[in-house]
Structure 1
Amino acid sequence: MKKITTLFIAALVVLSCKGEPKETNLDNIDEGTELIETLKDSIVSEAKEVKGQIKTVKQIKEELTAKGFKTFDYVDEETKDTILMQQYFMAFLKTGPIRGQNEEETADLQKEHLAHLGKMYELGYADISGPFGDDGDIRGITIYNVPTLKMADSLANADPMVKAGRLEIEIHPWWAAKGFPLR
């Protein structure tokens, strides 16, 4: 509850301290109110469990540890909240050595690739995936929410694009605060 209150107050402070002149603009007030309501709804829904109970950091850590995940926690000096860090695995999808597929084969592989990533997300193994916006050697990433490097590597290498050699995988352990949304 302390974390939710702190995040809500932080959102209010950020929205109210823009350093702009103190004139009233109803459009900005409406946008700010919508943003606060969206943040509040997001925080509340993140904090609720299916049963309607809020889990403590200790409970979440115990569940993750029982499933084999690596975690650590620290106390935020400013808020005094305990922040739980979890190890994830970031898979970089890089240009593979076999790029000679024709247009139809490439289109089919792309469909299978997207279906694979969708299945990983649906099963809870991947939290986010996406391509990069440039045309570099690193084509995209997938963040795997699994307990071991071996499992992440196995799931990433099951991707049809990787199996066909069009992409190859490079995986690194990555730590992130559990339950914090992207902004």
Structure 2
Amino acid sequence: MNYIKKTTVAILLFSAAFLKSYAQTPTDSIDNGLKQYMFVMYTKGSNRTQDSTTTNRIQEQHLNHLDSLHALGLLNVAGPFMEDGDWRGLLVLDVPTKEEAEALVKKDPAVIAGRLNYVILPWMTQKGNCFR
């Protein structure tokens, strides 16, 4: 075989092995030391016209909501982004389904008031992983 054919075969074999590793189902991955969480991205909502007193009250209620999720063991990570863009903050919820995550997020006073919208995505990381 000439060099180009050998290289092509090697690339195809490597690609097949690489893609097979990504073809694992989430259950397979969980068995390999990974755990699924729900990643919530808060974005700017369509109703951000409240006066400062109302905004402060909504923010306090929003933080209290997050504190209660943390106290229940459902919230692992939460925090705002430090730039004033459309992305406002993120959560990592320890619940098994998007539906459960959405039910919790829909109770957030900032979401109810329209100050925040959200996107929820299943996300995986190693069990017991922490930020350093």
- TM-score of the pair, normalised by structure 2: 0.77
Asked if 1:73 is matched to 2:31, the reply is yes
Match of residue 123 from structure 1: 72
Match of residue 139 from structure 1: 88
Match of residue 119 from structure 2: 170
Asked if 1:100 is matched to 2:58, the reply is no
List alignment gaps of at least 5 residues for structure 2.
1-26
Q: CA deviation at 1:144?
A: 0.5
Q: What one-letter code is carried by the residue in structure 1 that aligns with 2:89?
A: G
- Identity rate of aligned residues, in percent? 38
Q: CA deviation at 1:147?
A: 1.0
- TM-score of the pair, normalised by structure 1: 0.56
Match of residue 111 from structure 1: 60
What is the distance in 1 between the residues matched to 2:42 and 2:30? 28
Write the deviation string for residues 44-101 of structure 1: whole angstroms up to 9, x where unpaired: xxxxxxxxxxxxxxxxxxxxxxxxxx66233xxxxxxxxx111100100100000110
SS in 1 for 2:67: helix
List alignment gaps of at least 5 residues for structure 1.
1-69, 75-83
Write the deviation string for residues 119-139 of structure 1: whole angstroms up to 9, x where unpaired: 001101110100001111010
Aligned length: 106
Q: What one-letter code is carried by the residue in structure 2 that aligns with 1:162?
A: V
Structure with the greater relative contact order (CA < 8 A, sep ≥ 6): 1 or 2? 2
Q: What one-letter code is carried by the residue in structure 2 that aligns with 1:107?
A: N
Spell out the pairing of 1:1-183 with structure 2 (5 A cutoff).
72-74=30-32, 84-183=33-132
Write the deviation string for residues 115-173 of structure 1: whole angstroms up to 9, x where unpaired: 00000011011101000011110100010000111000110111000000000111111
SS in 1 for 2:99: helix
> What's the Cα RMSD here?
1.4
Match of residue 7 from structure 2: none
Moved over 4 A (4+): none
